[in-house]
């Protein structure tokens, strides 16, 4: 695996997956967004260094992101007035797809072979 692929899999995609939301949802919670980004970047750093516990943590976070997005998708895609929220639905589906991709990709043997313990 090349260095660019490792950066993409360990830093960029895991940080993007939970933070893909409509802009009007992200702006009021800048502190939470920065904390979530720092947490995923820190786990990516330890994953890049070969720590197996970081892989477990990253897979856990992506699975949790998928479950939470699935629950929110069904409860918030249509508001009380019956209007379909296109932006929220599309960003949730994109985030869930990215999390599922990361779940399956990070569990491959080539990733586990790079871990030290």
CA-derived radius of gyration, the chain: 15
Q: pTM for this one?
A: 0.91
Percentage of the residues of the chain whose pLDDT score is greater than 70? 99
pLDDT interval class at 34 (50, 70, 90): very high
CA dist., res. 116 & res. 49, Å (int): 8
Q: What is the average per-residue pLDDT within 18-28? A: 93
Q: Where are the alpha helices (DSSP H) in 1-117?
A: 3-7, 13-19, 23-26, 30-48, 52-76, 86-106, 109-112
pLDDT digits (tens, 9 = 90+) for 82-102: 999 999 999 999 999 999 999
pLDDT digits (tens, 9 = 90+) for 52-77: 999 999 999 999 999 999 999 999 99
CA dist., res. 38 & res. 20, Å (int): 15
The CA angle 89-77-21, to the nearest 5 degrees, is 40
Percentage of the residues of the chain whose pLDDT score is greater than 90? 92
CA dist., res. 86 & res. 106, Å (int): 30
| Structure confidence at residue 117 (pLDDT) | 64
Sequence-distant (≥ 6) Cβ neighbours of residue 98 within 8 angstroms = 13, 16, 17, 20
């Amino acid at each position: 695996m090349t260095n660019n692929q490792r950066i993409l899999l360990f830093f960029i995609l895991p940080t993007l997956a939970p933070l893909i939301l409509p802009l009007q949802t992200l702006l009021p919670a800048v502190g939470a967004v920065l904390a979530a980004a720092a947490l995923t970047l820190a786990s990516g750093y330890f994953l890049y260094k070969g720590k197996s516990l970081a892989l477990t943590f990253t897979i856990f976070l992506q699975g949790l992101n998928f479950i939470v997005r699935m629950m929110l998708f069904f409860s918030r895609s249509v508001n009380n007035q019956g209007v379909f929220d296109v932006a929220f639905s599309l960003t949730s589906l994109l985030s869930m797809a990215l999390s599922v991709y990361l779940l399956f990709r990070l569990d491959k043997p080539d990733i586990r072979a790079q871990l030290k313990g």
